[in-house]
Amino acid sequence: MKRKEIRKAIDKLGPWYQRYDMDGLWTTDNMLTGEHVWPEIRSLMDDDLQGARILDIGANAAYYSTQLALEGADVIAVEPATLYHKQARWTIHYFEQKHKTKLPIQLIKKTASELDYEGLGWFDYILAISVIYFIGRGKGKEGKYSEEALAEQKRVVSEICNQTDKVIVRTRNKVLYSSVAYYNSVFLENEFYMLKRIQAKRPTMLYGRLIKDGDYGKEE
């Protein structure tokens, strides 16, 4: 693939949120997501992902989905926004051309609330990077979520918890800092607990797994 073609696609499909390198051409200067944070997300997963089923909700330009697929994972990438959905299609195409292989990615244009989680089946990992915050984003009085929005968030989290025992949520964005305790409480209600991983100059990662053997509420 020629750099001129890549440059044209990046410009045509912008603005980009996920930052990554396409043959020396960066999609954006944004350092909050994409290639910059991928090592931290990857570190939360098993070394061998061959054959793993992974659901990437709010996949954006599908950078994480493509990296997982390149390691042999079977990925379902979900992105409802039209612009990001188009970027995801191009990203998948770019990496398929670069690596001369067909990637095992199914791209779905739906919101987290619209997914049929039970119908999708069981996943080894579910990435819900910033999705929960955006569910029912229309807030009620005094900047608080409406009761309907809170109920919908809890419903979606419950659906997610029913289809995996490993959920990854990233809360690097400043707007999400105040939501960390809320995320914890939602996942706790669904028998999850969060392991907070904080490293210098790295995003804060929250990683949940299903509670077993009476270790509810414990943290490492």
Render pLDDT for 144-173 as a digit per residue (tens, 0 to 9).
677 788 788 888 888 888 898 788 875 444
Q: Of 42, 61, 46, give the one whose Cα is nearest residue 105.
A: 61
What are the tens digits of pLDDT across the range 76-95?
999 999 999 999 999 999 99
Q: Which domains does the chain have, with CATH numbers?
A: 3-210 (3.40.50.150)
pTM: predicted TM-score of the whole model, two decimal places: 0.82
Query: How much is the pLDDT for 26?
Result: 97
pLDDT tens, 29-40? 988 789 988 887
The chain-wide mean pLDDT, for the chain, equals 80
Round to whole Å and give the CA distance between 191 and 217: 9
Neighbouring residues of 189: CB distance < 8 A, sequence distance ≥ 6 = 154, 157
Lowest mean pLDDT of 2-11, 112-121, 153-162, name the range: 153-162
Determine the Cα–Cα distance for residues 134 and 142; give it in Å rounded to an integer. 17
